[in-house]
Amino acid sequence: MKIPFVDLRLQYHNIKQEVDAAMSSVMEDTAFIGGKYVKEFERAFAEKYDVNYCLGVANGTDAIYITLKTLGIGQGDEVITVANSWISTSETISQTGATPIFVDINPETYTIDVDKISEKITSKTKAIIPVHLYGQAAEVSKIKKIADDNGISIIEDCAQSHFSEENKKRVGTTGIAGTFSFYPGKNLGAYGDAGCIISNDSEFITNARMYANHGALKKHEHKIEGLNSRLDGLQAAVLSVKLNHILNWTDSRIKNAALYTEMLKGVEQIETPLIRKNTKHTFHLYVIRTTERDSLKQYLEEQGIQTAIHYPTALPNLKAYEYLGLKPNDYAVASKYQNEILSLPLYPELEKDQIVYICQSIKSFFK
């Protein structure tokens, strides 16, 4: 059996008629940039999230950067974020001129350790970017309390957590903004790069829209210098089609994750993912942990099973952050886990017999 880490072709074939028709309409209408397909997606996404505004942008990285810039964050400021994430979360902080301040991860949930946030807050702290990693909701209600007490903004990085929830509230709706990536492999994925920002704050979203469009709300009226960061019509049309399926796909991810966890029960050498109480974990990734990670990965590869690592180097340990002079021991959990985590294939279309095969392979490795 050969099992790829992700299989986007399968999903495309399941919705081919709808997607082909949608893309064809965009081309017939030549609505490539701006226009009704982008407006329609922004409206539909905001409605699904029950928020006032959604702004389509070019990708999930820009979504964070635009949000930071719109909040006026820059040189001399500090922004707190988490030690294990994709580099977009921290590089956008640096790009504004601010300094990323990393917090270690919680050993059970793998998201930001809320008990270690307060000690990192200084007079320079302007914002905090929790990441709802792998689909697991970070502890947003606790983070909100800390942020409110200290007068700092929350930007939720939801690139891996479309439709995840904490206490029945969707992640991305607590802070000033929720930022999303629609990179093809994400739970809601376009057929190219795409992203968005959601918010309930009208002034914030107006300024973000302006910044993302060369600093202009009306053509040629540039109030500031900005960016060219647009969601394009073709991507918006694909996303609108997929938005009708996302909740079903999410259910399938959750079921597949449950099957893994059930089947891997009793394998002492591995930790399966914990689903934090009162949350909906949407399983962008199914991440197990074992001290024999590298040899297990190799073994599974030989069995035809593709796996991945998210992420092999915790952010503070990357060469890119050498200049901050941080020590791996200051991020002890993230530094340990970077050598132990392994992401197994997980997508809505994954079949039960494939999961069974993967779990049997894992068991035979440890035998």
Note the residues at the interface with ligand PLP (CB under 6 A): 59-61, 85-86, 88-89, 131, 157, 159-160, 181, 183, 193, 195
Contact 44, 218 (CB under 8 A): no
For 129-163, b/e burial (b = at least 16 CB within 10 A) is: bbbbbbbbbbbbeebeebbeeeebbbbbbbbbbbb
CB of residue 41 to ligand PLP, shortest distance in Å: 15
- Report the nearest approach of ligand PLP to the CB of residue 194 (Å): 7
Dist. CA 141–CA 339, nearest whole Å: 30
Cα–Cα dist 291/308, whole Å: 15
Using alpha carbons only, what angle is made at residue 276 by residues 307 and 315, rounded to the nearest 5 degrees?
A: 50
Residues 6 or more apart in contact with residue 21 via CB below 8 angstroms: none
Q: Which residue, 60 or 264, has its beta carbon nearer to ligand PLP?
A: 60
For 106, phi then psi, to 5°, come to -75, 130
Q: How far is the CB of 263 from ligand PLP (least distance, A)?
A: 27
Closest to ligand PLP by CB, 88 vs 307, is: 88
Cα 173 to chain center, whole Å?
Answer: 14
Specify the residue, 8 or 259, whose C-beta has the smaller distance to ligand PLP: 8
Shorter beta-carbon distance to ligand PLP: residue 178 or 348? 178
Residue among 179 and 361 whose Cβ is closer to ligand PLP: 179
Name residue 157's beta-bridge partners.
131, 179
Smallest distance from the beta carbon of 223 to ligand PLP, in angstroms? 26
Contact by Cβ (8 Å): 164, 136: yes
Q: Which residues, at least 6 apart from 175, have a Cβ–Cβ distance to it below 8 Å?
A: 140, 144, 147, 153, 154, 155, 156
Residue number, 70 or 361, with CB nearest to ligand PLP = 70
What SS3 state is found at 308? strand
Q: How far apart are the first and last CA of the chain?
A: 20
Phi, psi values for residue 120, rounded to 5°:
-100, -5
Q: Which is nearer to ligand PLP, 85 or 213 (CB)?
A: 85
Closest contact distance (angstroms) between CB of 63 and ligand PLP is 7
Residue 107 Cβ, how far from ligand PLP at the closest point, in Å? 19
- Give the residue at shortest CB distance from ligand PLP: 60
Instruction: Rank residues 61 and 361 by Cβ distance to ligand PLP and give the closer one.
Output: 61
Residue 181 CB, nearest approach to ligand PLP (Å): 3
Least distance in angstroms from the C-beta of 257 to ligand PLP: 18
